Every structure is written in C-alpha cells, then in structure tokens.
Amino acid sequence: MTSLIENAFFLSQINGAELLHIMLKTYTSFLAAIQIRCLVF
C-alpha cells in the first residue's frame, strides 16, 4: 500500500514538471507572438 502511494506521488511529480514545462513553452511562444505583432503593426 505504501509503495502504491509513493508511485502515485512520483507520477504526480513527473506530471507536475511536465505541466510546468508545457506552460513555460506556451508562455514563451505567447510572448514571442506578442512581440511579432508589435513589430508587424
């Protein structure tokens, strides 16, 4: 039972890091899009 909880915690940690990475990539691409729009217009 303890190992099951530890595995769930480990998986949630990985998913959290993956989610953070995706959010960071989305944020940087969002900023890049804003900069490009400012340059174009």
pLDDT reported for residue 9: 77
From CA 23, how far away is CA 29, in angstroms rounded?
Answer: 10
Range of the domain at 19: 1-41
**Higher pLDDT, residue 10 or 31:** 31
Please report the pLDDT score of residue 27 as a whole number: 95
Q: What is the pLDDT of residue 25?
A: 94
**d(C-alpha 4, C-alpha 13), whole Å:** 14
Buried b (16+ CB within 10 A) or exposed e, 8-41: eeeeeeeeeeeeeeeeeeeeeeeeeeeeeeeeee
The structural domain count of the chain equals 1
Alpha helices (H) in 1-41, listed in sequence order: 2-40
Check pLDDT > 90 for residue 31. yes
pLDDT tops 90 at residue 39:
no
Q: How far apart are CA 21 and CA 13, in angstroms?
A: 12
- pLDDT attached to residue 1: 58
| Percent of the chain whose pLDDT exceeds 90 | 24
